[in-house]
Chains A and B, each alone.
Chain A
Amino acid sequence: MTAEPPPGDTFAKLLQHHAAVRGQRPAFRHKDRGIWQTWTWAEVHESTRAYAVGLARLGLKRGDRIAVVGSNRPRLYWTFLAAQSLGAVPVPVYSDAVADELAHVLAHAEVRFAVAQDQEQVDKVLAVQARLAQLEQVVYDEPRGLRDYDRGRLHAIDDVIAAGRRALAEETDATAWLDGEIASGSGRDASIILYTSGTTGRSKGVVLAAGRCIAAAADTVVFDRLSEKDEALAYLPLAWVGDHYLNFAQALVAGFCLACPESPDTVEQDLREIGPTFYFAPPRVFENLLTRVMIRMEDAGALKQRLFHYFIGVAKRYGEAILDGRPVPAGARLLYGAGALLVYAPLKNMLGLSRVRTAYTAGEAVGPDLFSFYRSLGLNLKQLYGQTEAFLYVTAQPDGGVRADTVGPPAPNVAIRIADSGEVQFKSPGMFVEYFKDAEKTAEAMTPDGFIRTGDAGVFEPDGQLKIIDRAKDVGRLAGGALFAPKYLENKLKFFPNIKEAVTFGDGRDFVACFVNIDLTAVGNWAERNNIVYGSYQELAGHPLVYDMIGEHIAETNRALAREPAMAAAQIRRFLILHKELDADDGELTRTQKVRRNVVAERYQPLIAALFAGDAAADIATEVTFEDGRKGMLSARVAIRDAAATPTPAPVLEAAA
């Protein structure tokens, strides 16, 4: 790859370019009826043009907002391109958003058009249309179940494309008109509005300009040497900056192929079949994968188990050094080669990671052991740090410069500084223009000299890599003055496969206490093997033996904390296991599955009080939201236990596992 400027300042122009330069190369794939269907750049270009004309005939104009609701489907990506061809601004919405969230975004963005994937999403849009004064037309991808709906304002994408195609074929000026529309698009135009998941409060619409998006993506395409030969599986939520950047923007800059999974449930199989070369997953996904590999290994035969554990040990010792090109004894190299043949390659193949050249993880701190596990298998897993406001990249680790506890040096052309408050601030090529219709919030997010405040506390390591400690506002102190970094503790706990989520409390308190969510897959499997009968999540979570097991995990975490002088005082003294899973539908997690700390603290106030009061159990009643939007009350008596703490200046030495 060369660093020549991208051949266009809008995505519509890039599409034209690819159709001309690599028209016959695959642009999109989608598994449909069990078979991977492929569209070339030329085909996508032709369909998108027809689609744009069709949308224009329905009344879509430059500057209009058009909502896109659904999962990763080629036609929904084409909707982005068709809308951008006309200068309209797509507003993708999380497909699992409940009606109220959907209404908020659509109303705030004042969308005139909504494109929905299927009947489920159409129903959601229609259910809230009374609150959407500007909404005029609804377009859908999958016709099933929509036969008897009122056709007045409802159109199939295929019909819209067909109408556009007819117009382009029959009307002499249609082609010239469309060319004019595309040509008059500029890099300064708003390209997309991404609504943030909103860790705090209502989500905000981040307006990104086309030229900046493309400039940022062009930088990272060079950074990771992406080319038309690469391929990615587009399984991340359409409305998330990660999908729009890593998949959509990078694919359109580099001209690589974007494969859409058959359905959200089949991602794992699709990953195996496609074998992407570029892969992104949040740490949570890597954790789940590892958990399930470990569970399956426990069911494997004795020989396979021994082989697996022996070679994973070999990989732990030498794998990362080999990946980074550091010197390794010849014998170890040979042993690692044997391991690759017998264990690592088949394992990566099972996970669909065989062809991955560059993999990233971000969003949460990743457990060092988890991170090294994948890297030691030969997977080039790196970390990046990013924000919607930056159009993703703020920092990224280069090949060979990877550490588990940092997020890398500034990405190309990004300027970073640490404010006196410890907050990380940056200026980047892809930085956002404004929050849509919210000048006040926009002003809050930017410093007077044009840097963006991230709200994250961080420090630069001597080697120039940035280390994010926590949200700036979340870092606190115990009553005794010792540092309390909740996320740091929670991440340590979450590394245990049995612990799905943990929330610690300690700011201004005498000691640290925590809530634990067990992982139903891992603990359920453990229960099965130990003949523990349970009827529900709640029953399993409250089981004394489960408490014993989690207590042991916390004791182990405390032993590790005791070895770190800065953290030794923040050992976890008391804990409880929550009777329900923290859930985004109840507002306890964001849609990207991050804990909303203040919501949890408020909802479970009685439990927190009991933790610090030294009670042995506490009653709690919480409102839960069911999948269909109805609400109910869930009450339980939750047991509380003390955790074994390790005396502070105790040099505990353990054999490296």
Chain B
Amino acid sequence: MNGPGPNETAMRKAEPRAERADGAPSAPPGRSTGEVLLAVENVSLRFGGVKAISDVSFDIRKGEVRAIIGPNGAGKTSMLNVINGFYHPQDGRITFKGETRSKMRPSVAAAQGIARTFQNVALFKGMTTLDNIMTGRALKMRRGFFWQLWRHGPAMAEEVEHRKFVEEIIDFLDIEAVRKVPVGKLPYGLQKRVELGRALAMEPELLLLDEPMAGMNLEEKEDMCRFILDVNNEFGTTVALIEHDMGVVMDLSDRVVVLEYGRKIADGTPDEVKRDQKVIDAYLGVAH
């Protein structure tokens, strides 16, 4: 009977994935086909004299969960910003769905099917969960401003369609109880979930997640892991994520690229990366 109050300890129980019995896949599920969705080739990014990214190349395959890891200041967020067109690299090429470009505006990236969430939650605090996720549909709205002033007719029919899609997402993310609550009032973990919802509303082909579990408790992390896996599984969405929690990265991702000081130092499956001496040095430090 309680709303989600602070004493509601019994929220969802996430079963640890490792303990799943038969019937469930033991390896990370991704349904990678091998086809390259996005290729980053020799990309370099400088801010004045500061080299944020130098000569980095890697690719993201369709349907996989790709993690980008590295110590603080390694250029991970810059890399995401390059991918979704917010930063323009001085050198190098980015190929998305076979189209090569070096400069692109974020709105174009969004229209092409790249959605993202942010390291710090970037929602409209005064708007409800529902409205925030609806904004994710903005690019899908076909009718213009003047049609939308009218409460009947095609714009209304379109709105109903979009609302239906948004309700699917609300159901998917288990946030029915906060549908009409302004997001500013929600706990941080739920806000992160709403932000993911907004990104999903764009029906992205490539979902960029910048530290989706930062600042979450164990249970919220488990829930978020489950959502990311389900997104990847159910919709076949390709996911690229930045994350610091190594357990999460190793569990979720099919392949990991490791950055340090703007350079790529390793690239491969979680197991390969874990054993890589350069990665161990980068994380644990090395005597010079």
Contact = CB atoms under 8 A, between A and B. Distances in A.
Interface of A: 31-35, 96, 120, 122-124, 126-127, 129-130, 144-145, 147-150, 153-154, 235, 262-263, 265-269, 281, 285, 288-289, 500, 519-521, 524, 581, 583, 626-629
A521 B15 CA distance: 27
Contacts of B122: none
Contacts of B21: 123, 126-127, 129-130
Interface in B137-178: 163-164, 167-168, 170-172, 174, 176-177
Contacts of B222: 628
A235 B125 CA distance: 31
Pairs of residues from A and B, 9 with the lowest C-beta to C-beta distance, nearest first: A265-B177, A33-B167, A520-B7, A126-B21, A150-B23, A149-B23, A285-B1, A34-B167, A266-B177
A34 B179 contact: yes
Interface of B: 1-7, 9-16, 19-25, 29, 163-164, 167-168, 170-172, 174, 176-177, 179, 218-219, 222, 226, 229-230, 233-234
B21 to A, nearest CB: 4
Nearest to B180: A269
Contacts of B170: 33-34
Nearest to B10: A96
Given A33-B168, A581-B9, A627-B13, 15 more contacts: A33-B164, A34-B176, A123-B15, A129-B21, A148-B29, A148-B233, A265-B176, A266-B177, A268-B1, A268-B2, A288-B2, A521-B7, A627-B10, A627-B14, A628-B13
Given A288-B2, A524-B6, A263 B174 contact: yes
Nearest to B5: A521
Contacts of B6: 520-521, 524
Contacts of A581: 7, 9
5 contacts: A34-B163, A126-B24, A148-B233, A262-B176, A627-B9
Contact of A145 (B12, B176, B230): B230
B1 A519 contact: no
B1 A281 contact: yes
Nearest to B29: A148
Contacts of B7: 500, 519-521, 581
Given A124-B15, A127-B20, A265-B177, A145 B234 contact: yes
A277 B23 CA distance: 44
A132 to B, nearest CB: 11
A33 B13 CA distance: 22
A154 B21 CA distance: 13
Nearest to B1: A285
Contacts of A500: 7
B233 A145 contact: yes
B219 A627 contact: yes
Nearest to B8: A265
B176 A628 contact: no
Nearest to A129: B21
Contacts of A628: 13-16, 218-219, 222
> Interface on chain B toward A: helix, strand, loop, or mixed SS?
loop
B283 to A, nearest CB: 26
A266 B4 CA distance: 9
B252 to A, nearest CB: 14
A330 B6 CA distance: 46
Contact of B172 (A126, A144, A263, A521): A144
A599 to B, nearest CB: 18
A101 to B, nearest CB: 13
A154 B23 CA distance: 9
Contacts of B19: 127
Contact of B4 (A32, A265, A519): A265
A311 B4 CA distance: 30
A589 to B, nearest CB: 11
A127 B24 CA distance: 10
Contacts of B229: 145
Residue of B7, B25, B29 with highest tally of chain A CB at under 10 A: B7
A126 B17 CA distance: 13
Given A34-B176, A267-B1, A519-B7, A149 B24 contact: yes
Contact of B15 (A120, A288, A626): A120
Contact of B12 (A120, A127, A267, A520): A120
Contacts of B20: 123, 126-127
Contacts of A281: 1
B168 to A, nearest CB: 6
B234 A144 contact: yes
Nearest to A522: B7
A120 B13 CA distance: 8
A263 B29 CA distance: 27
A153 B174 CA distance: 27
Given A33-B168, A120-B13, A126 B230 contact: no
Contacts of B163: 34
B23 A126 contact: yes
B234 A147 contact: yes
Nearest to A523: B7
B235 to A, nearest CB: 11
Given A33-B164, A266-B177, A127 B233 contact: no
B25 A148 contact: yes
Nearest to A125: B21
Contacts of A150: 22-23
Given A120-B12, A123-B20, A268 B3 contact: yes
A263 B176 contact: yes
B233 A147 contact: yes
A285 B1 CA distance: 7
B15 A127 contact: yes
A3 B61 CA distance: 70
A522 B282 CA distance: 48
B16 to A, nearest CB: 6
Residue of B4, B22, B23, B29 with highest tally of chain A CB at under 10 A: B23
Contacts of B233: 145, 147-148
A629 B218 CA distance: 13
A266 B176 contact: yes
B179 A148 contact: no
A281 B7 CA distance: 19
Contacts of B13: 96, 120, 627-628
Nearest to A150: B23
Contacts of A129: 21
Given A520-B7, A581-B9, A627-B10, A148 B24 contact: yes
Contacts of B14: 120, 627-628
Contacts of B23: 122, 126, 149-150, 153-154
Contacts of A519: 7
B220 to A, nearest CB: 11
Contacts of B234: 144-145, 147
Contact of B22 (A126, A262, A521): A126
B10 to A, nearest CB: 6
A120 B1 CA distance: 21
A268 B170 CA distance: 18
A596 to B, nearest CB: 17
Contacts of B174: 263
A31 B176 CA distance: 10
A268 B163 CA distance: 23
Nearest to B229: A145
Contacts of A266: 176-177
A123 B24 contact: yes
A126 B15 CA distance: 12
Contacts of A120: 12-15
A144 B230 contact: yes
Contacts of A35: 167
Nearest to A152: B23
